[in-house]
Amino acid sequence: TDSSTKHEYQSDVARLRKIVIESLYSHREVFLRELISNANDAIEKLRLTALKDKTVWDGVAPLNITLKLEKNEEGDGGRLIISDTGIGMSPKELTTNLGTLAKSGTSEFLAKADSNSGSSNGNLIGAFGLGFYSSFLVADKVYVASLPPATEANPQPVQHVFSSSADEPSFDVYPDPRGNTLGRGTEITLVLKKDALEYLEEETVKSLITKHSGFASSFPVYLFTKRIEEQPIPQDELDQTTEEKKEKPKVDDDEVVVEDAKEEEPKENEVKTRQVTVEEWVHLNDQPPLWTRDPKDVTDEEYKNFYKATFKQYQDPILWHHFKGDSGPVSFRALIYVPSTLPEDFWQSPQTAQQDTRLLVKRVLITSEFGEHRLPKWISWAKVIIDADDLPLNVSRETLQSNRFLKQIKNIIITRFIQVMQKTAEEDVEKYKEILKVYNPILKLGVIETAAEGKTGNRDKLSSLLRFDTTLRTGISLQDYVDNRKEGQNQIFFLANIGQTTENMRHSVFVEKLIARGYEVLLMTDTMDEIFVSNLRVWGNMRFQDVAKKGLQYGDEDVEKEKKELEKFKEDYKPLVNFFVKSTKDISRMAIVISNRLVTSPCAIVVDSFGYSANMEKLLTSHGK
């Protein structure tokens, strides 16, 4: 038609589509999850827009997602149709949203897929949510008909269609020849590939939806079904048939015995049935959303599937916590997930890293934008759903910003995270070890950040979750260290050496003397450790003491004796020291001193007590100081 416009895909999109179709074959069932989650997003958008502009939705018209499976008469193909009553798309939006790489997630995928071409693309699709393009995994041709709601700016919207084939580098956008058939929203028709006809089977579609726990769709998903049912034949039709029967001459009438006649009696009273085809909309996600269920009734598998589908993750979570709580007058249910890895760019990204905390009221998403009340960086990786029972639903998002509850959410999440970590540390040591492999540095960052906020309570709780190796033991807490202190010991001795193994550090010259004296030394290998120590300063009334710094004092009863010994050494070795000083004065300004810190090693280079340790120097230089 004249008004139809043909568009070339951006070259990126063409490339992406190719990657999708070629490499994700075995994961192609994700298309359904993606399309339903788009439908869900579109309805959420409508609802959020309606909070400000009632004309887009009256608050009454049903919000839902419907699926229809249409087999060809010949049975050699068919179409899967997904419709929603969401915000819809204008022709311009059809072009930009579906024809360009508008979403960062999608372009991120592209970058990934290119860099590890062919390797684990199947996982990546889950990680980034390929979205609309996944349609082409199962469809040769896709039609998207869409009608946005009437608004003041656009009082008479016209339904348009976006159409595209899997093997063409272009797409069309044109007014729907059927007119405005949709009340509002979007209808996606997938003309299924010959090898994807399984998605025309009701059972396949049903089980896919259950697998992803209702896709966390807050809105009902209905499937149009047809089934064969035995139904009673209406009385009038029945009368007709009996009359016909009566007219038939009976054969062998004479031979009927009494017993047989008796048996026939009840048969005549039996309801006569026949097979009919019943068409019905079946509610697929009629299970209450997972987070509203009793944790006792939810399996680990369900928690994992829900996490992956809801937060678009491809790995299982390492830990989660599902609970009910009250915060002042607000009662809520919450589900906090701890991912098994940190976001790849976690340490590079700025303070305001991307977050996924979703505030719902009575199961409906209100916001995931927390502004100034967002989580601090150290816990920004948390994936959270928090569903309040009784915040007034019609509050606009602006008012919500100032709502007390919003402020409290951050603390609720932090407190609960700490609790579930404490519990795991006590109850499942092996699992806790696994968690700390990823989260040890995070806890230290937490200490540093909360110390900066002046929240010593959380700072101490986070510190107590940490585990260290020492010269004597592995995986001990700061409290374990303090409990094992020597009589009279008033310092926590530590040696920091980024990236070193603790095994090597046990042979370090800096710990010899301490080991000899029966002290335990914390061995720190994390980039974060020294900053952590300088933030915490004291634990259990004991000051942290870097054993690689000059002026190390043990503070025990042997001190006086050693002082005298040292004086004698200093006298004895004066000529040697003078010789060293003389011979190094052109190349170095360091001090050469006689020390009794070493037991078996002849000499060591130590750092000035007010200077940075070698590690800190490394760290600061790497940050361009």
> Does 84 appear as a known binding residue?
yes
Give the one residue of 67, 89, 360, 476 binding ligand ADP; rule: CB under 6 A: 89
Closest approach of ligand ADP to the CB of residue 117, in Å? 21
**448: partner contacted, choices Mg ion, ligand ADP, none (Cβ within 5-8 A by kind):** none
> Does 440 appear as a known binding residue?
no
Residue 533 buriedness (CB in 10 A; 0-12 / 13-18 / 19+): buried
Region from 87-95, 396-404, 475-483, 519-527 binding ligand ADP, contact rule CB under 6 A:
87-95
**89: partner contacted, choices Mg ion, ligand ADP, none (Cβ within 5-8 A by kind):** ligand ADP
Does residue 38 bind Mg ion (CB under 5 A)? yes
Closest approach of ligand ADP to the CB of residue 312, in Å? 9
Cα four-point dihedral sign 525, 443, 127, 305: positive
Residue with tokens 């010899």: 512
Which residues are bridge partners to 385 per DSSP?
Answer: 335, 358
> Does 103 appear as a known binding residue?
yes
CA terminus-to-terminus distance, the chain: 64
Angle of helix 104-115 versus helix 11-23 axis, rounded to 10: 60
Give the one residue of 131, 214, 376, 446 binding Mg ion; rule: CB under 5 A: 131
- Report the length, in residues, of the chain: 625
Interaction with Mg ion in 196-215: which residues (CB under 5 A)? none
> Does 184 appear as a known binding residue?
no
> Does 186 appear as a known binding residue?
yes
Closest approach of ligand ADP to the CB of residue 188, in Å? 7
In our burial notation (b when 16+ CB lie closer than 10 A, e otherwise), range 410-421 reads bebbbebbbebb
Give the one residue of 24, 42, 80, 524 binding ligand ADP; rule: CB under 6 A: 42
Closest approach of Mg ion to the CB of residue 204, in Å? 21
Kind and range of the H or E element at 331?
strand 330-339
Q: Residues with Cβ < 8 Å from 595, sequence gap 6 or more?
A: 566, 604, 606
What is d(CA 97, CA 89) in angstroms, rounded to the nearest whole number?
A: 9
Closest Cα to residue 166, out of 188, 132, 135? 135
Q: From residue 164 to residue 203, what is the string marking binding to ligand ADP with x (rule CB under 6 A)?
A: ----------------------x-----------------
Closest approach of ligand ADP to the CB of residue 116, in Å? 21
What is d(CA 348, CA 354) in angstroms, rounded to the nearest whole number?
A: 12
> CB of 555 within 8 A of CB of 491?
yes
Cα four-point dihedral sign 391, 397, 398, 401: positive
Give the one residue of 23, 38, 159, 471 binding ligand ADP; rule: CB under 6 A: 38
**272: partner contacted, choices ligand ADP, Mg ion, none (Cβ within 5-8 A by kind):** none
Closest approach of ligand ADP to the CB of residue 144, in Å? 8
What is d(CA 100, CA 107) in angstroms, rounded to the nearest whole number?
A: 10
Does residue 159 bind Mg ion (CB under 5 A)? no
Tokens of residue 54, six digits:
């009632």
Closest approach of ligand ADP to the CB of residue 130, in Å? 7
What is d(CA 70, CA 601) in angstroms, rounded to the nearest whole number?
A: 82
Parallel/antiparallel/unpaired status of strands 221-232 and 273-283:
antiparallel
Closest Cα to residue 113, out of 41, 27, 38? 27
**97: partner contacted, choices ligand ADP, Mg ion, none (Cβ within 5-8 A by kind):** ligand ADP
Closest approach of ligand ADP to the CB of residue 106, in Å? 6
Region from 12-20, 81-89, 212-220, 270-278 binding ligand ADP, contact rule CB under 6 A:
81-89
> Does 431 appear as a known binding residue?
no
Interaction with ligand ADP in 347-366: which residues (CB under 6 A)? none
DSSP symbol at 485:
P
Region from 127-135, 245-253, 436-444, 574-582 binding ligand ADP, contact rule CB under 6 A:
127-135
**103: partner contacted, choices Mg ion, ligand ADP, none (Cβ within 5-8 A by kind):** ligand ADP
Does residue 84 bind ligand ADP (CB under 6 A)? yes
Q: Residues with Cβ < 8 Å from 535, sequence gap 6 or more?
A: 447, 448, 451, 452, 459
> CB of 78 within 8 A of CB of 71?
yes
**522: partner contacted, choices ligand ADP, Mg ion, none (Cβ within 5-8 A by kind):** none
> Does 123 appear as a known binding residue?
no
What is d(CA 145, CA 193) in angstroms, rounded to the nearest whole number?
A: 20
Smaller CB separation from ligand ADP, 23 or 186 = 186
Give the one residue of 132, 291, 468, 481 binding ligand ADP; rule: CB under 6 A: 132
Does residue 103 bind ligand ADP (CB under 6 A)? yes
What residues make contact with ligand ADP under the rule CB under 6 A? 34, 38-39, 41-42, 84, 86-89, 97-98, 103, 105-106, 129, 131-132, 186
